[in-house]
Structure 1
Amino acid sequence: MTSALISYKRHSFPPEIIAHVVWLYHRFSLSLREVEEMLLERGIMVSYETIRRWGLKFGPDYVGRLRRKASSSNDIWHLDEVVVSIQGKKHYLCRAVDQDGYVLDEILQTRRNTKAAKRLLMRLLKRQGKAPKRIITDKLGSYNDAKRKVCQK
């Protein structure tokens, strides 16, 4: 998780610990004090203020690398939707998550049909650059129809 562009000079902690702390803080949206407690359980005494400073200094680089996770042909995508009510109207929030828990894409749609599923798959393929090894869904028929239509092109 370390990078050659980042300088850890004048820091009393090893780069691996700093990288792990910043990763914990940004990846899991923990509070500074929660990260401090987690480290204290492991015998590492770091104040929450130090964690905050590390997050400000090293965070943008780590967050950028977390968001730019390279897709591979061995990926497994999980597609699912949730019903959301917006001003009394039903909408469907469709999400695509990979096997590591990274959210690949989200899209809010008014319909739950083949056209909507096809739109989600086309966006995913465009953003990721390559198709996954497997797509896991909740057995909704529109996902299967959309997969057939998108994969035939």
Structure 2
Amino acid sequence: MNPFKGRHFQRDIILWAVRWYCKYGISYRELQEMLAERGVNVDHSTIYRWVQRYAPEMEKRLRWYWRNPSDLCPWH
């Protein structure tokens, strides 16, 4: 099942906004401005809904990637 089916915006735009919010702590309004500068008009409340819906799944899938590097070498 595609979680992006029926969405008004493209998958890449949604993932980009969620990633930047989670990784850099940018506010929803700042993200709204950044997207507008790139020609994508989206309301900050829409970005909020994207984060609520997609961030938990993104975190689950990328948890291994975001691990602390010291966890990878237990002999140090």
TM-score (norm 2): 0.82
- Which structure would you say has the larger Rg? 1
State the number of aligned residues: 76
Work out whether residues 6 and 58 of structure 1, in 8 Å CA contact, stay in contact via their aligned partners in 2.
no
* 1:31-110 equivalence runs, <5 A: 31-69=27-65, 104=68
Any runs of at least 4 consecutive aligned residues in structure 1 with deviations exceeding 3 A, and if so which? Answer: none
Consecutive unaligned residues of structure 1, counting only runs of 5 or more, are 70-101, 106-123, 132-149
Inter-partner Cα distance in structure 1 for 2:28 and 2:2? 22
Using the TM superposition, give the Cα deviation of residue 16 of structure 1 relative to its aligned residue in structure 2, in angstroms.
Answer: 1.0
Q: What do you get for the CA RMSD once the two structures are aligned?
A: 2.3
Higher relative contact order (Cα pairs below 8 Å, separated by 6+ residues): 2
Query: What letter matches 2:38 in structure 1?
Result: R
TM-score (norm 1): 0.44
Identity across the alignment (%):
32
